[in-house]
Amino acid sequence: MKIISVSEYVKLSNSWNIQLTLPAGKGYNLNVKASKIETSGLKDFHGTMESSNIQGTVGTGGADINLKSSQRISLSFE
């Protein structure tokens, strides 16, 4: 799923893989949990990044991005 613009928040939760693309160069508050997380294009990140958990801000923060999956999450920024 590719999102063109985020104003306040994105919340996705399921038991399958999640593939999400967000606009690059924007501020976000990230709360991402899965059995495995892959990211690409993530810049200016401040926080904790582990293979199964990402919590922190991109830039100075902004829209809340809450993702949770019992499988894999692929999060990219373009």
Is residue 1 in some structural domain?
A: no
Is residue 30 in some structural domain?
A: yes
Q: 22-78: per-residue pLDDT in tens?
A: 999 999 999 999 999 999 999 999 999 999 999 999 999 999 999 999 999 999 999
Is residue 42 in some structural domain?
A: yes
Query: At 22, which amino acid appears?
Result: L
Is residue 3 in some structural domain?
A: no
How many domains, the chain? 1
> How far from the centroid of its chain's Cα atoms is residue 24's Cα?
11
Is residue 66 in some structural domain?
A: yes
Is residue 2 in some structural domain?
A: no
Which residue segment(s) compose the domain that 28 sits in?
9-77
- DSSP count for the chain of H helices, then E strands: 0, 8
Is residue 4 in some structural domain?
A: no
pTM score: 0.92
Report which of 20, 29, 1 is spatially closest to residue 77, judged by C-alpha positions: 20
| Strand-pair partners of 21 | 2, 76
Length of the chain: 78
**Alpha-helix runs per DSSP H in 5-70:** none
